[in-house]
Chain A
Amino acid sequence: MRVDTWLDERPVLLDERAAVRAAAADKSRARPLPVPRSEHWKYTSTRAIGALGLEIGATAATLTVGAAPQGVTIVRWSEASPAQRAAAGPWFGRLATFDGPEAFVALNTALHDDVVLILVEAGADVADAVRIVHVAGGEDTPRVVFPRVLVLAEAGAKATVIAEWRSARGAPFVTAPVTELVVGDGASLEYVSVVATPASDFHLATVASTVAPGATLQATMLAFGEGLARCDTIVTLAGAGASVRLEGVGAAGASGHIDHHTTIDHAAPDCTSREVFRNIAGDHGTVVFNGRVVVREQAQRSDSDQQNRSLLLSDDATINSKPELEIYADDVKCAHGSAIGALDPEQVWYLRSRGIPDALARQMLVRGFGADVAARVAHPGARALATDALEAWLDQLIAGGAA
C-alpha cells in the first residue's frame, strides 16, 4: 500500500473534519496496517492486503444511496449546507476513534473522499428505510475505497437504515468503510448491514454508535463470504436508560474468514443490552466472534446479556468465539452464554422422520441456525432482505459441500 503517496496527494480540507483528518494521517503514516498478531487482530491477518498493489478508488463509483423518505435528508458532505455540516461536524470522528489498535479507521478518516450524511429530523417517524448500496469490485486492477457514512437521528426520531455491501468480483478489492450512528434522546434507530465478500475481496468495516438517554439502537450485522471480512461494531450506551439490541451472523465457506468484533460499552446507568451472534463455518472457513462488554463504574443497574452459538459444518472449519466481560459497577446483571457444535442429530432425525430427505433436512437446519436473527429485524423490508441474503448464502455454503 502506498499510503504515504495517497496522503500526500489527497486534497487538503479546511472544514470541520480538518483536525481529525490530520491526526488520522499521522497515525496512518506511522502504522498503515494493524500490528500482526496483536490482541485485537489475533485471529485475523491483514498481511495479504499490503501485497496487493492497490490503487485508491473513488466512492462516487461504488456507493449509491436511495431516495430520502419524508423526514430524512441525505446529502454528501461536499454538498452539505453550513447548517448541516454544523450539525454533523461535532460527531465526525468522535465515535469511530483510532487511538486504539485500529488501523483501518485511521486510514478511512485520513483518506475518505466524501461523507454520506443521513439526517433524521427530530420527532420524525420514518416508515421507509434509507438504503445504502455499495458495490465493490468489477475492476481490472486491485483497488481500495474508503466509504464514510454518518447517521444522525435527532431526538425522538424513528428510522431504519439498511447498508448492503455487495461485490461485482473482478480484481481484488478492499472496502474499508466507517459508519457512525448517532441515536439522539429518546430516538429509535434500526441499522441492518449485509456484507457479502467473495474470495478475491477484503471488507474491513467499523460501525460505531452512541445511544443517548432513553434511546434505542437495534443493529443486525450479517457477514458472509469466502473472502475476508472484519466487522467491528462499537456501541456506547451513553445516556441513562439507553438500550441496544445487537445481533449478527458470521458465515464463512471455502477458505473464507469472517470476523465480528463487537464492543458494547455501558457508560451510563440503567441501560440494557441484548446481544445475539451466530457463527457458521463450513469447508475450510474460519469464523471469529469477539464480544466485549464493558460496564463502567457509573453504569449501575446495567442489564446485559450476550449469547453466541456456533455451528461447525466441516472438520476443516474453524470457529473462534470469545466473550470479554469487563465489569466495574457492582449493581449489575450480566449474563452470557456460548456454545459450539455440529448439527444436532436429534433435529436431523426429527425432520427425517417426517419424510424429509437427509440433505434437505440439513439444509433446513443450517438455514434455521441464523434465521431467528434475521426474523427479529423489525423493519419488514429490511427483514425480507436479511432473510433472503442469509438463505441464499447458507444454501451456497451447503452446496459447497459443507453440510
Chain B
Amino acid sequence: MLEIKNLHASIKGKAILKGLDLVVPAGEVHAIMGPNGSGKSTLSKVLAGDEAYEVTEGQALYKGKDLLTMSPDERAREGVFLAFQYPVEIPGVTNAYFLRTALNAVRRHRGEPELDAFTFLQRVKEAMKLLEMDAEFRNRFVNVGFSGGEKKRNEILQLTLLNPSLAILDEMDSGLDVDALRIASRGVNALRDADHAFLVITHYQRLLDYIVPDHVHILVDGRIVQSGDRSLALDVERAGYVDHQASA
C-alpha cells in the first residue's frame, strides 16, 4: 500500500525528515511513536500533500504510484486520508455541506454516482450514530467552537464516510476522553480489512489497546530508529525514548 524510501523533507529550510524508510502493506496497522518534534506530524502532512513542506530527497509510493507528484486533493481522491492532530476550523461552511462535497468529489473520482441529499443524509446519520455524535454537529460550521475531543470525533466521522484505503491518524487519541477513545476506535476498527492500511501516530500505548497494531515504529530525529511488534510500545511507555535518542 505504502512504500517510503529515504524520505527527506524540510520546512522553511529546516530539515525535519532525514532519510525515513517505511513499508505499510495492505491490511496492516502500523503505529508510529516518537518524542515531540521528531517529525511525526511532518511525515503525515508530507504524505497528505501539505505544500508548506518541501521534499528534498527520496520517494513515497502509494499503490505503486508516485504519491509525491500528486496534488493533495488528488491524493485524497485516490484514497489517502489524514486525520489531523489539529483539525482546522472553517467558519461559514457547514459540516454537512463540507462532508457531502468531499464525499462526492471522492465518489466521482471512483466512478461512483454522486449521492443525492437524502441518501447522503442517511449515511451521515448512520456514521454519526456509530460515533455517538449529536445530530446538531451536521449543521454547525466545520470544527468551529468544537471542543478538542469533538474535533477529533469529526475527523473520524470523515474517515468513516470517505472510507480511504490508507488512513493516517495523527494523535487521534489526544483530547479524547476514555469513552470517546473507545467509540472512535470502534469507528476505525470497523474499516479494518485486507484492503485498508493504517498509520497510527500516538504517544500512548493505551490507544494501541483499542486499535491493535501489527507493527510499531519509533521515529527519532526524522528517521525510523527501531521497529518491532506491539511490545515495543509497552517498552516505550515504561522506559521512554532515552535509548533511542542516543542511537539516533
Contacts and interface: CB of A to CB of B under 8 A. Distances in A.
Contacts of B73: 352-358, 361
B195 interface: no
B88 A347 contact: yes
Interface in B69-120: 71-73, 76-77, 81-82, 84, 87-88, 90-93, 97-98, 101-102, 105-106, 109
Contact of B77 (A345, A355, A364): A355
> What range describes how many residues of B lie at the interface?
20 to 34
A346 B88 contact: yes
A368 interface: yes
B92 A354 contact: no
Nearest to A371: B92
A114 to B, nearest CB: 40
Nearest to B107: A355
Interface string B126-143: 000000000000000100
Interface stretch (B22-30, B44-52, B227-235): B44-52
A369 interface: yes
Contact of B92 (A353, A355, A368): A368
B84 A350 contact: yes
B76 A354 contact: yes
Given A352-B71, A353-B48, A355-B162, A347 B90 contact: yes
B72 A371 contact: no
Contact of A372 (B81, B141, B158): B141
Interface in A319-364: 345-347, 349-358, 360-361, 364
A215 B101 CA distance: 42
A360 B141 CA distance: 17
A357 B73 CA distance: 6
A126 interface: no
Interface in B18-48: 48
Contacts of A360: 101, 105
Contacts of A356: 73, 76, 101-102, 105
A367 interface: yes
Nearest to A363: B101
- Most chain-B CB neighbours within 10 Å: which of A355, A364, A369, A371? A355
B88 A358 contact: no
A353 B90 contact: no
B91 A349 contact: no
A372 B140 CA distance: 10
A241 interface: no
Interface of A: 345-347, 349-358, 360-361, 364-365, 367-372
Nearest first, the 9 closest Cβ-Cβ pairs linking A and B are: A368-B92, A355-B76, A350-B88, A354-B102, A371-B92, A368-B93, A352-B73, A355-B105, A352-B72
Interface of B: 48-52, 71-73, 76-77, 81-82, 84, 87-88, 90-93, 97-98, 101-102, 105-106, 109, 141, 158, 162
